[in-house]
């Protein structure tokens, strides 16, 4: 069905189902609102911070998130959060005016963050809000939280696992060493043992208990890696600086599912066989490429 026929079919459907038309209009309004809000930051990389709305401003976690966001903003990143209280507010406050955006959800029991100079836009639906938060993120910092935080965490991991989102760092950050993420890692291990996910899928995220560890994980990921692209049955990693071929010795053994490897003449493009499902091993390969500096 071409675009004209699809539009005509959609218009006919909405005409016969006015409630669906109203819902479609509100979805488009949500998408338009976040697109407009993100436009001033279009040229800058973005770090998304997820976490509990229930922590107080006096908690160690609040200060840890505020400090981390301030540090990422100093690196040039824009900080995006869910625009509510708790972890979300801490991230916006730390990044400050000109470096942060909140994308909040309309809830009867929760007020949006109120940080001087930091815009917060409202969404009617969780899925449009989550799309706006996840779509442009170049890195994700996930703090302990409830159902919403866990939903966002597994959404990001699912998109990375299936190749629906380009590789990027996901850091599970537990600044108080509470052990919050231990059950999650146990669940992932059980899922891998049962054959429900690949063992390498655990590489899609990393654990940090200090600010330095969280910052280092993001900086390391983008230290040389630029992008991943697909060319037929091959995957290609592009780098910002040439990779010394000697450092790639043994890749055929370490990553047999990707062999053979080819480094182009500029030494800034590594090509390999890719079956479009091995995104966990791809994440490990990116770490190897970055370690060759």
Instruction: Convert the pLDDT of each residue in 32-59 to its tens digit.
Output: 999 999 999 999 999 999 999 999 999 9
pLDDT of residue 122: 96
Average pLDDT over residues 251-267: 93
DSSP codes joined into one string, 159-188: HHHTTSS----EEEE-TT---TTHHHHHHH
- pLDDT higher at 3 or 267: 267
Asked if pLDDT for residue 1 goes beyond 70, the answer is no
Outline where DSSP puts E strands in the chain: 46-50, 78-81, 100-105, 120-123, 139-142, 170-173, 206-208, 225-231, 234-239, 261-263, 269-273
pLDDT-derived band at 133, boundaries 50, 70, 90: very high
Q: Could you tell me which residues are beta bridge partners of residue 270?
A: 237, 263
User: In Å, how far are 229, 240, 252, 278 from 234, measured between CA atoms?
Assistant: 9, 20, 15, 12
Say if CB 122 and CB 104 are below 8 A apart.
yes
Q: Which percentage of the chain shows pLDDT scores above 70?
A: 99
pLDDT at 4 over 60: yes
**22-31, 80-89, 133-142: least confidently modelled range:** 22-31
Confidence (pLDDT) at 209: 96
- Average pLDDT for the chain: 93
Task: With a cut of 90, say whether residue 17 has pLDDT above it.
Answer: no
**What average pLDDT does this structure show over 114-129?**
95
What confidence score (pLDDT) does residue 180 get? 97
Whether the pLDDT of residue 293 is over 70: the answer is no
Q: Which of 12-21, 65-74, 195-204, 244-253 has the weakest average pLDDT?
A: 12-21
pLDDT in tens, 81-118: 999 999 999 999 999 999 999 999 999 888 888 999 99
Question: pLDDT tens for residues 229-258?
Answer: 998 899 999 999 998 888 788 899 999 999
Q: What's the CA gap between 227 and 293, in Å, rounded?
A: 17
Residue 46's pLDDT is what?
A: 98
Binning pLDDT at 50, 70 and 90, where does residue 26 land?
confident
Please compute the mean of the pLDDT values over residues 1-15 and round it to a whole number. Answer: 76
Nearest in space to 95 (alpha carbons), one of 68, 73, 117? 73
């Amino acid at each position: 069905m071409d675009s004209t026929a699809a539009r005509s079919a959609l218009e006919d459907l909405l005409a016969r189902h006015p409630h669906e038309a109203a819902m479609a209009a509100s979805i488009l309004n949500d998408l338009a609102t976040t697109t407009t809000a993100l436009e001033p930051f279009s040229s800058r990389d973005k770090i998304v911070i997820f976490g509990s709305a229930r922590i107080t401003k006096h908690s160690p976690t609040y200060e840890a998130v505020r400090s981390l966001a301030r540090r990422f903003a100093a690196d040039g990143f824009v900080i995006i959060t869910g625009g509510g209280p708790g972890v979300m507010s801490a991230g916006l406050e730390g990044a400050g005016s000109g470096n942060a955006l909140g994308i909040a959800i309309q809830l009867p029991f929760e007020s949006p963050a109120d940080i001087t100079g930091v815009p917060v836009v409202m969404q009617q639906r969780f899925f449009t809000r989550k799309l706006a938060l996840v779509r442009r993120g170049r890195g994700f910092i996930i703090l302990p939280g409830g159902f919403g935080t866990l939903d966002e965490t597994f959404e990001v991991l699912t998109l990375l696992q299936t190749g629906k989102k380009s590789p990027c760092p996901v850091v599970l950050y537990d600044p108080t060493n509470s052990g919050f993420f231990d059950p999650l890692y146990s669940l992932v291990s059980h899922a891998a043992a049962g054959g429900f996910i690949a063992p390498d899928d655990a590489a899609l995220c990393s654990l940090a208990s200090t600010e330095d560890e969280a910052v280092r994980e993001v900086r390391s990921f983008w230290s040389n890696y630029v992008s991943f692209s697909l060319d037929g049955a091959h995957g290609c990693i592009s780098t910002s600086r040439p990779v010394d071929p000697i450092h790639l010795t043994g890749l055929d053994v370490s990553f047999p599912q990707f062999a053979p490897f080819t480094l182009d003449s500029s030494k800034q493009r590594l090509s390999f066989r890719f079956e479009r499902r091995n995104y966990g091993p791809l994440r490990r390969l990116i770490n190897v490429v970055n370690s060759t500096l």
